[in-house]
Amino acid sequence: MNKPSEPSFRRMVRLVALGLFSFLLPSPLQGQSIPPRQGEAFPLLRFPLLGGKKGETRTLAAWRGHKVLLIQFASW
């Protein structure tokens, strides 16, 4: 048997509320499983420096004050 249809206004309000609620909820992907996105500060992780002294590390803070192009690549 078909359900009686809801008035379209109430339906719309529900949809908008649901949309707002979903928007405000933190995405389950947020956290450390996604790469930094536009508008986010790149995490200040300490990485070993290739060719540096043993144990030498850097964070991106080393280049603060400069525009940086961070290029992720591989030699293969």
Work out whether 41 is an interface residue with another protein (CB under 8 A): yes
Distance between start and end Cα atoms, the chain = 61
* Residue 32 in contact with another protein, rule: CB under 8 A: yes
Residue 1 or 29: the one with the smaller Cβ distance to another protein is 29
Smallest separation, CB 23 to another protein (Å): 18
* Contact indicator for 23, 12 with CB cutoff of 8 Å: no
Q: Report whether 60 contacts 42 (CB < 8 A).
A: yes
Query: Which stretches of the chain bind another protein, using CB under 8 A?
Result: 30-51, 55, 57-58, 60-61, 63-76
